[in-house]
Structure 1
Amino acid sequence: MDEFLAYLLQFSLLNQQQLDFIASKATSLSLRKDAYLLEAGQVPRQVGFVLEGVIRICYYDNKGDEITRNFIDEHRLATDLRALEYGLASSEYLQAVTDCRLLVFAKREWEELAHTIVGWNDIMNRITAQHLREKLARISPMMAQDATTRYVEFLENYPRLANRIPLSYLASFLGITQSSLSRIRKQLR
């Protein structure tokens, strides 16, 4: 719980009573490797915070190919916030890449935090804005880079993830085939 509270305190000042209230709303959840926190077609009913492990966000394109869109590692929120907020079915899967340990807030508890803690929505907006900036900083350059540059930059920007995720997921994330990724890795050795 301390990790989540420290994470929140990066975005706003909260008093001890508020921190205790937040802590009272969370439960622990263990996800085994390959298990889903959320599946496409489901309406999200919880918000997770990754304490240990890696979760990937993936979907199937119109050809039926599985595409990895992002990875969520420690000290990040894990849910489909838009679908959660509007009660929509998610179009993506949130799948554990490794065994994971999370703090989980049921939707009802999450909404209670928003109604009880003054400034909660501002905190969530700041978190969302930071994640959006990080996402844009990661994706924008990738659009114009060759596959080798994308892989090298992934290693530089996410050194903790490189050895924790299967090559097939990494290749999908980079927008290349697994055999291309293997050739790139061999050339760089």
Structure 2
Amino acid sequence: MSEQPFADDKDWTWVLNELCPECRYEVREFDVTTVGDLIRANAQEWIEIIAATDAAKLSSRPRPDRWSALEYACHVRDVLALYNYRLGLMLNEDGPHYPNWNQDETAIEKDYSASNAVEVAVDLKANAEALARHFGIVRDEDWERPGFRSDGAAFTIETFARYLMHDPEHHLHDVRQGLAALQ
């Protein structure tokens, strides 16, 4: 099991209202009906990074308080699966409350740092495709359907999609910075 470099206890929902100063990704600017295409494009960027980076560098942490590129890829893979599940709840239930998910516990339980990069890339792509297809069935009248995180944060399918897109985009930024620091 891997030790976690940090516990991320930030409430990132603020990205729905303002530009992220770290990654500069603006969730308010994209046409939400294109979220499936955005998910696929983001997954392709992850796959290209994994394929282009040697295993030692991929699994090296640039700093003790940051995940390696491989650990971030595992996290994104799991976020995509989680959001697919939560989207299903939002489409099939009225105002569902999502079960809690602790990303740090998941990273330890799944031993992200010991993962096989090829398997992670395959699973990340599959999870991205499944989620993109799921967003493809969202009808115009569904975008305002609500869902609630265990901490009480409220989303509509629209804000859920926007919030989702920040995560893998932000982590691409983290990974690019981390890999550059390992040069």
Q: Which has the higher helix share?
A: 2
Q: Over alpha carbons, which structure has the higher Rg?
A: 1
Relative contact order: is structure 1 or structure 2 higher (C-alpha 8 Å, sep ≥ 6)? 2
TM-score per shorter chain, which class?
0.3 to 0.5
Structure with the larger strand share: 1
The two structures have a TM-score, normalised by structure 2, of 0.32
